[in-house]
Amino acid sequence: MNSKTFIYLSLLSITNLFLDVTFVSAQTDRDQYRQQAIEILESVPLFDGHNDVPWQYRHRVAYKFSELDFYDTTHLDPPMHTDIQRLREGRVGAQWWSVYVDANIPESEAVRRTLEQIDFVHRMNEKYPEHFELALTADDVESIFSAGKIASLMGMEGGHQIGNSLAVLRMMYELGVRYMTITHNRTLDWADAAGDNPKHNGLTEFGEEVIREMNRLGMLVDLSHTAPNTMKDAIRVSRAPVMFSHSNARALAGHPRNVPDDVLLMTKDNNGIVMVTFVETFTSEDRRRFFAERAAYQRKMEYLYPGEPDSVSGYMTAWDKDRQAPKSTLEQVADHIDHIRDLIGVDHIGIGGDYDGISTLPLGLEDVSTYPDLFAELLKRGYSAEDLRKIAGLNMLRVMRDAEEVSLQLRMEYEPSEVLISDFD
């Protein structure tokens, strides 16, 4: 072996050794961050603001636990994102279950289906009492978490689920619902939705009365899915903190479901919370643009080939074959958390994954077991342990307690509202 060959091989060995050491060091750092994240999540209840398991059970097995054991759903095709074993692995301590129903059905039918969704959550708690217990207050959540169980909370996903009736709203509260998303994707008789044609420039007078009655009851006002003017009107009217159960920052991804910066600033003044979501088009601007371009192309084909769905389908198949949608990532979700922290502070951030309400998820956040990985990424970015405790649960507990205090005061000041939507005709 000549000297040049010896030197070359020596340098190659040193380089490979350096790369091996660097890889091992990086892996060790990741493992340490994840372990630290797990320890933090075991000290405070991790809230998730939105999960659609009730909807999955409705459509997969007509709510029959006899046909689908919730302890393990990994065998399903297509897969679910949630089950008991993965909730435990993800260190979830408090889950807001969405009792969503379709916004396009008659509202009387929406009320009936909402009751069925609520019934499912109650039966789930009863079937798995060692894992779940219904929580109605912040104190309940802390007590349930201390007992080693997951606090079950319910949120309605749209004002269509009360059928334009404050009496129905009150009965939903009595059944355990503790937040209501003001709209889903459809503009209502009293509130404008994001992505739908506005009719009211925000809330109507009846819509404002809905907010006031929610405050009196102690039901949180959720502004995900609403139009910006609805967001602003609700924050202006509400005497309690508002929440966004599953929304991101519009400054980073321009989807109409995300929250503009001026509304984020209002949310800070209101002492509310934005629960960052994992919906891919709300997370990645590249992915949002990709699907916006796809939708525009489909509209063009439908215009050029009216009444020819097979032709349109053929063009869309060709379009999809030539293109691949960009994926969002766990790191991009963390970018949204960074943006909200930098603008309004860490005290107004939570997590609302939207698991089992969407078909695809960011890389690294494929199911509910992955929450520790997101918190590990935040630790890597320099967030403190106290920051993570706030994001995980302390912020949501504060919002709940503030709403409960407002309710106690308002119940002393006001009787239940007797206002009807017809009063404003």
Instruction: Point out the residues that are catalytic.
Output: 50, 52, 157, 184, 225, 246, 354
Tell me the two tokens of residue 379: 């630790």
Distance of CA 400 to the CA centre of its chain: 17
The answer to whether 47 and 97 are in contact (CB under 8 A) is no
Counting Cα atoms < 13 Å in the Cβ hemisphere of 126 gives: 7
Tell me the two tokens of residue 310: 């097979």
The answer to whether 53 and 4 are in contact (CB under 8 A) is no
Tell me the two tokens of residue 218: 């102690």
Rounded Cα–Cα distance for residues 292 and 326 (Å): 13
Q: At how many degrees (to 10) do helices 261-270 and 228-237 cross? A: 20
Q: What is the DSSP letter of 356?
A: T
Angle at 288 between CA 325 and CA 180, to 5 degrees: 125
What ranges make up the beta strands (E) of 105-149? 132-134
Closest C-alpha among 322, 315, 278, 324 to residue 297: 315
Rounded Cα–Cα distance for residues 31 and 158 (Å): 40
Rounded Cα–Cα distance for residues 351 and 247 (Å): 9
The answer to whether 161 and 115 are in contact (CB under 8 A) is no
Partner residues linked to 96 by β-bridges: 153
Supply the DSSP string of 140-151, one letter for each residue.
HHHHHHHTT-EE
β-pairing, 46-51 with 150-157?
A: unpaired
Residue with tokens 């077991």: 369
CB burial of residue 22 (10 Å; 0-12, 13-18, 19+): exposed
Phi–psi pair at 244, nearest 5 degrees: -115, 110
